[in-house]
Every structure is written in C-alpha cells, then in structure tokens.
Structure 1
Amino acid sequence: MTQQTASKKVINGWAMYDWANSVYNLVITTTFFPIYFLAVTSNRSDHKVNFLGREFVNSSLYDYVLAVAYLLIALLYPILTSIADTRGNKKNFMRFFCYMGALGCSALFFFKADTLGLGVFAFMLAAMGYVGSLVFYNAYLPEIAAPQDRDRVSARGYSFGYIGSVIMQIVGFALILVMSDQGMATRLTFLLVGIWWFLFAQISFSRLPESDSKPEKKGNVIREGFGEIQKVYAEIKKMPVLKRFLRGFFFYSMGVQTVMLAATIFGSKLLKLPDTNLIITVVIIQVVAILGAWGMSKLSALFGNLKVLLAVIVFWIAICILAYYTAVMAEGGINAEYLFYGLAVLVGLVMGGIQALSRSTYAKLMPPTKDTASFFSYYDFTEKLAIVIGIFTFGRIEEVTGSMKNSVLSLIVFFAIGFFWLYSALHKEKQNHLAL
C-alpha cells in the first residue's frame, strides 16, 4: 500500500517544532550567547579564563562545552530511541528534551561574569535539550510524509525554523537598542527564548500523532538500545548507497555544523565587529537561508539529491577558502569587514538547504520500518559525533596555534572527504538504478 502524506494540519504542526526550537540555534548558539560569553570572559588581555582548575582560551572553552554536551547526548541516543520505539512514547521523549532545553535557555538569565559555572551548566542543558529532542522530531518525517514529499516537507520545517528564529532575533535586538543595560537585555532575551520554545512546542505536541508502535517486553534498556543500533548498522551495511551517503554526511557535517557554530565568534573575536553588525548579519543569513532551503528542494527535484549535495559541498569548500583569506587579512591589519558580510550571505544560501536535503535524503534511503526513531538515532548520532569532532578540532587548533585561521583550514579537509564518499554513493546509485 502506497504511503500517504499526512494532513496539512499535521505537517504544519510538525514544522512548528522547528519554529519553536530554532530560536535556540540562532539566538543561543549563533548570535547573542557567543557574543555575551566572550564579553563576560574577556577580563584578561590574553582572553583566557579559569574553569575547573585549568586555563582555557575563552573561545576554545565555548567550543569544548558544546562538544561535551553533544557527545553526552549522542551517547544517550541509542538508549532513548530504543525506549521510544519499543514502548511507543516517542512524543514523550521529544517533550522531555524540549522542556530541558527551554529550562536551560531560561536559566542563562542568571549567567554573569561571577557565575561562569552556572552559565556553562545552563548552556550544556540547553544544547542537550535541543539535540535530544531533534532525533524524535526527525523520526516523525518518514511517518508523516510519503517519499515523494519528504524533500518538500523537510524544507518546510527548516523554513518555519528560520522565520521563527528571525522574529525572536529581532525581538532581542530591539531589547538591546531600547534598554540602557545591554547585559540585562541580552539575558532577558535568553529567558524569552526559553519561554518561546516551551510555548510554541505545544502546537506540535497537540498535532503530532501518537506512535503506532505497541509496547513490547521491557528488558535491559542499555542492552536493547545498543542492540537496536547494531541492528540498524547491520541493515545499513547491506545498503551500499545509504552506507556511502552516511559516511559522506559524517564528514561534511563536521564542516557545516562547525561553520554555523563558530561563525559569530569568528566575526566577533577575529574581525572585532560591533555586536550590532553581527546580529544584523545573522538575521540576513537566516532570511537568505529560507530561500536557500526552498531553492535546494526545487533543484533536487530537477537534478537529484546526491548531485545537488555534491555541488553544495564544492560551494562550502569555496566558502572555507574565502574565510581563510578573510582571517589572513584581518590578522594582517586589513579591513575585511565587507568580505565577512559577503561570506555570511554565501553561508546563508547553502546552510539550511544542505541540512534539509541531507535529512530528506536519509529518509528516502531508509528501508521501510516502524523503528524510525532508531534509524534517526543512527543518523543523529552520526551528525552529533561529527559536530563533537569538528568543533573540538576547531577549538583545539586555535588554542595550539594561536590563530583561528588555521582552524578554518581544517574544515576544508572534512568537506573534501565528504565529497569523496558522496560521489561514491552517486556512482552506486547509478549502478542500482535508484531515483534520488
């Protein structure tokens, strides 16, 4: 029986979770929080800070905290998704991590220079809530959208996310302009992000269907969880296109996610751009990203998913090369401000599109199964492990070499390896006469 795409009400309800949680991704990890974190930890001329009895470069500490948060939640994925698939409570886990993330964002309201430990803990809580809920959110895609509609539905989610996050970004920016105490305005923005995330997520929870899987016998959840991952891995090994796609996805995600997470720190610390300029730049990136996600969905219908992804990776490599020379110019005392703005627009064009298309490509390549959470756990584990390696490498190279431009160069290697594996997947796709 041919699968039917769910009603418009359900599809929009699913996409509204992107509207709800993307404010974290934009306001917390991309704009306001990186700027605020650098501001409250830059009391010394060498930009170092004491934490847990060790001195860190403040921007590297930021990278390490994110890497640890993503690693912790990635290690929990197999257990959580196994419980969700075998006990039919996918929505409950999505709700739990949503509330964890919203609480973490709200708690950042109390983060000041003398409460670094609280700030780090709240930041980790927010990050874990965000990535923890996404695996259950993504797992709904193959359940509510027929294969031919998954590119479109996936892009709709990202588009909703960009629109919602831009609105929240503008609210935060307005607070900073209106209030005399910019620190208070920024912390109030963190609180509003948590409230926004919590409230709009209720639309998704009210519209998403309950899981149709029936509770099975309850055994050891750790053994069951990693057993599910082994089962998914065993199935993927038999599917040459999916296997090669995931290898490519792993490596190019190291580059994509690191660029997105480190871009604001790059502009703030290396180029020393005013906070206002950075905030406006990120808003422009989000607006451009809406068009990018929509445009890439259209291109994939014309040329196929893998071909479009290969072209986009080449585009990302070009962005990294330009970013490296931007850093060289900045370190040499040359004004590279407008080059950075141009880079921001280029990133926006491919940022949302590559994420939406990667998610829908995986959903298309997945075998028919009711264990969607376990399969998307594998996908999200791959992505989050890539983020851990990418962001840790970025921070470590800067700390060792003393220059962020060297960190940028490392990203080109990740994209190149990802390109190789995607090209291999495309070759297998043609051999197997698949239609992606």
Structure 2
Amino acid sequence: MVKLSLPRLPGHASPTSTPTPAWLPLIFFLPLIVGIITKILRSKYIFSEYQSVACAGLKALSGQPIYALNLQCEGMRAASFVYIPGVAQFAAFFERLLTEPGFMVLYLLLYVAAAVALVFVPLLGRKAPGHWRDKLPFAVFLSGSGFMLGNIAVILHGIVLAGVLAIEISPWLFVAAVVVTAWVKPIFLTYLMVILLLDQPLKRRCQLLATGAIAGLAPMAAFVLNGGELARQWYDLLSHYVYDVTPGVGFFGWLELVGINSAPVGAKLAYLVFAGLMTLSGLVLARSLKLNTRERLWLGLSLAVLLIPRIMAEDMALLGPGLLIVANRAAERATKYETALKNAPGIVFALCAVALAGALTGLADYSEPVILLGFSLFILWLGARFSNAPFRLLALRLTMTLGGARKSGSTVN
C-alpha cells in the first residue's frame, strides 16, 4: 500500500512523515500560468493598461483631453487614464523623444525587469527570509491578468522592491523610491510602513516619514489645488473606478462584499481605524517577536500591501514573506496550551490553499477579499496576543465588529 502524507505546513516538520515532493508547492503557480495563457489567447487585452499611459501621452502631445471613460487612440485598446497630468506629460516626453513604439520598448524593458524581480525575490531569492518551499504558496496571489495587462503598478512595486534592497545603504534611498511611486499612485505611501518598523531612533523615523509623505503628496496636492476643471474631471473619473467599478480586494472590497459603499466619509474613517490598528500591531510584533532588520523590512512590506484600500491583482507580489515571518516567530513563542498560536504557520498555509481553490474554480473575486481580510485579522490577532491589555481589547473588538458586519450584510445607501 502506498503511504500518503499531507503537505508539510510552513515552519513545521515531522520526522516520521514522508517528505513532501519538491514540486508540490509549484501548484500555487497554476493561477499565474492559467492567467497568462488566457490573456495570450485573448490578445486584444494584452497591455491595455500600458496603452492608457501611452495614449494619454499622445493626447498631451496634441493638446487633447486625457480624461475620458473611453480613451481612444488609433491602433490602441486603451483603458481610461486615471493618473495626474504629470504622468501623461512624462509619457509624452519619451514619445516625443523615442516615438510611441520606442516608448513601448522602454516601458516593456522596465516592466519585464520589475515582474521578474517581483516573482523571484520574495518567493525564491535569499533576500526574503524563509525557505523557498514555504514561501511558494504565496505564488497563488500572482495574477496572470495583473502581469499581462501592463499596469504601471508592476513597475512601481519593482521600484519599491529595489528601494528595500538598497535600504541598508541608506533609508533615504527607500524613501526616494516610495516618493517616486507616490507621484504616480499616492496610495503607495503605505510602503512608508517599512520606515515605521525600522529599529532606529523615533526622531529619525519621523524625519524619514514626514519627508516621504510631504514629497510624495506634493504633486497631487498642487494639481488638486490649482488644476481647476481638469482636477475635477480627474477626481470624477478616478472615483468612478475606485468606488463603483473596481473597488478591489482590500478594505474597499471587504465593504463591497457586505453591500457597503466605500465612498462616504464613514467608510474612510473606518479605514483609518483599521490602518491605525494594523500599524500598532506591526509595531507590537516587531518589538515582541524581536525581529531583526531584514524581518522588519519584509513585515513592513506585507502590512503596506494589506493597507492599500483598493488592492488590485498587480499589488500582491510583496505580500507573503512578512506574514510567514511573524507566523513562524509567533509559533516559536507559543505556550503548550496555545494550540492555535502553535499552528500559526498552518493558518497562513490554509488561507493560501483556500485562495488556490478559489482561483482554480473561478471564484477568486469572492475568495481573495475574504483571504486578505483573513490575513489582516491574523495580524490583528497576533498583535493583540503580544500586546498589553488595552490594545488587545481594542483589536479584538475590531475583529468582532468586522466579523459581525460580514455576517449581517447591512448596507449603507
């Protein structure tokens, strides 16, 4: 009789179990592979989001409007352009210098380099703590559509990753990387969580945070204050996609699941409470689990991804290592009575397995928001476990509130 064994959970090894085949974790790459094949077969959708940037650049060159629900340029199937005019002007500069095909080659080179780095470094490289087999389940969050649509966010996440790898040279290099990405997508300022978790004096961290936040928000603030009608057009178009079309699989997506619109002020205040508790949890875990510098960096990246209120398919490449780090460290600190804490790595693995099942059954639109909510509640739970009593009660109350909202399905008009 052939002896069967369950897959080895990350952080747990049994001396009596049959070794898991080395290829088994590779099944978590199936959603990426299937997604890429699907997009290739539907070639008209490939790189459509690059075309929105390229088309906006061409419109800027000719003095035409760049904000429209149906942005049209000859020979392109462009998505709507939702960034500030400076991004279109940047594209226009290179299209004037290199022509549009030349700009596409430059964009493609940066894009491929970023995509390869975002797959290799967090999952297979030695720069991210943990064994590669334990990290591979997070490959389930690599979306074929996220990579094949050509969204500029892939390049931006690659810039953040480069900044993290250079942070040991100087934290200012990382801050500069985040600032550049925030000029395109201001929400990337969540990556300043990495600075907050550094084991450095509070004054220095505040200097880095303040500089990054001010410099990152400056272009958008200047446009909003001085852009007039153009700024209103941009905000209306952006709001349409963020709140009505694709709220994503993060905080806004969780609200969408229970029928709550994320546009009202109340939803944004709830997000600020959530972000505050996640930040406190990160600080507690970094200190209580005695994480080293590299572990703090990757925990900061994981929390930054979870704090993006509108997480899209291309935003999750840097999610995994930090979650695995705190799960393994927490399991090491568990007492003999804390069964759930001992199995923290198994909880993370189980969530990845559910995400895989959702992706392979075509239910990713429903499973991914729930899984990312699960990761967030996991962090809040660990933060409550290793914190003092007041914060523990506050985090548990938030967990119960989110759980209750999930069950009730109440709506806000």
Would you call these one fold, judging by a TM-score over 0.5? no
Structure-1-length-normalised TM-score: 0.30
Which structure would you say has the larger RCO, counting Cα contacts within 8 Å and 6 or more residues apart?
Answer: 1
What TM-score does the superposition give when structure 2 sets the normalisation length? 0.32
Q: Which has the higher helix share?
A: 1
